[in-house]
Structure 1
């Protein structure tokens, strides 16, 4: 596994500022990697998005720096073969086994100078490399993927910002960091990431318990079973899966909290004590589905809480679990929808 301590990002007038953005944010937020920007002369530059960038160093300073990864963004100047002054730094890093990551127009720049002739690589399109890099000899090694790694050189298409970041994080083993992996999942479109939602008002028939964590176990097989005959006798029409609603549960096994175990119904009717039937208001929450046994529910709660903390949204202390499918004989087939209440105010 490659070690990444210092990441240098080359900036220049009209560079495509979005292309290295995901990488640098992920490194800065979730790792202790140093990120240093530099320009040819160390003077401010204006990005393609009209951002005014003040580099931390010049190319001369970068030439003597301890660089583990050099990121080369794209942009029209790179495609046109501009900034040849950067070539000695690239050569120095490649010769010493350090890493270079290029995206979009920067892959054209590498192709123009022979760096892609002998390694697997990608770009915006192989024909673009042939057209814009007349001396390019690496078409047989072109890989039809958004991002690719060949030796210590990482390449990516201009539309593949997420794949570019993923390739870099993977190359350096950084996705072993669960927070970085989880954050990146938002951009990768993973199914197992939290979703901010507002649950509609709910007609809910339930019984309330005051319990702690050890007290949950006796309720698992009995509480829901007892609800159905009472609901039917009261003339209620059940319209959804069983639900457990937690209020004031903080994860401490000894904390006593309120637990409402019940069923969604189509209308509110009078029911005998100790049961209740009422319309619950809208429920702002962050939720996701948990597949498999309930012994791993803690992992899903961990992901949800991590996501909520990253979003900076306060939690209300009310959570819901909806048992969309459950089997005591085959718990691996369970599907549980978990919702943690949040405050949008």
Structure 2
């Protein structure tokens, strides 16, 4: 199985590191960039070289799309990103988006009536008309058919929820992973 991580300039790399660790148990991790490039720089200042250019991605080859947070302002309205998200949904594949990542789901029009969580506010001019704000849930992580969304500050919970939802880890291991990554110990 393969997971596609969509990277972009200034993405919140820390929000997906633990998720990558979890998914590597059963998934091949592949990175791509929102725009053609040799590398993107995460919010930490670390540089990441995409495995594949987005133009060369065939959604048929992937089982899951991961969209990290960061500032999605430069990604809104990009037809090639909308097509990617829409195609993942059309093929009924999971999309996991954290922090500002759900903005791309809303921009592509795939959320419909799904409950979601995003680190944006309804009064933000950039995104206020993209979402049905009545469907925002005040939970750290929200799992609905086809989507897993979460707040950036809950990146550990998000990683564990995605891994558990996909069957990579069971409930007992999920509890252990939460304890380890949040408190540095294993019970």
TM-score band w.r.t. shorter chain? 0.7 to 0.9
Among 3, 20, 24, the residue aligned to 1:24: 20
Instruction: State the TM-score, normalized to the length of structure 1.
Output: 0.49
| Counterpart-to-counterpart distance in 2, 1:185 and 1:117 | 34
Cα separation, partners in 2 of 1:114 and 1:65, compared to 1, 3 Å: closer
**Count of aligned positions:** 185
| Counterpart-to-counterpart distance in 1, 2:112 and 2:136 | 9
| Counterpart-to-counterpart distance in 2, 1:17 and 1:193 | 25
Indicate conservation of the 8 Å contact 1:162/1:188, yes or no.
Answer: yes
| Counterpart-to-counterpart distance in 1, 2:131 and 2:14 | 29
Cα separation, partners in 2 of 1:62 and 1:181, compared to 1, 3 Å: farther
Partner residue in 2 for 1:193: 186
Among 77, 83, 86, the residue aligned to 1:88: 83
Where do 5+ consecutive residues of structure 1 fail to align? 195-345
| Counterpart-to-counterpart distance in 2, 1:163 and 1:183 | 9
Residue 10 (structure 2) pairs with residue 6 (structure 1): no
Residue 163 (structure 2) pairs with residue 169 (structure 1): yes
| Counterpart-to-counterpart distance in 2, 1:37 and 1:175 | 22
1:241-320 equivalences under 5 Å are: none
| Counterpart-to-counterpart distance in 2, 1:53 and 1:61 | 18
1:255-283, CA deviations, whole angstroms, 9 ceiling, x for partnerless residues?
xxxxxxxxxxxxxxxxxxxxxxxxxxxxx
| Counterpart-to-counterpart distance in 2, 1:12 and 1:156 | 18
> What is the deviation of 1:100?
0.8
Cα separation, partners in 2 of 1:65 and 1:59, compared to 1, 3 Å: farther
1:94-153, CA deviations, whole angstroms, 9 ceiling, x for partnerless residues?
00100111111111232233333410111125535x643232352222111011022101
Residue 116 (structure 2) pairs with residue 160 (structure 1): no
Report the structure number with the largest CA radius of gyration: 1
Indicate conservation of the 8 Å contact 1:116/1:136, yes or no.
Answer: no
SS of residue paired to 2:153 = coil
Residue 95 (structure 2) pairs with residue 100 (structure 1): yes
1:216-241, CA deviations, whole angstroms, 9 ceiling, x for partnerless residues?
xxxxxxxxxxxxxxxxxxxxxxxxxx
Cα separation, partners in 2 of 1:154 and 1:173, compared to 1, 3 Å: same
| Counterpart-to-counterpart distance in 2, 1:70 and 1:64 | 9
| Counterpart-to-counterpart distance in 1, 2:11 and 2:93 | 23
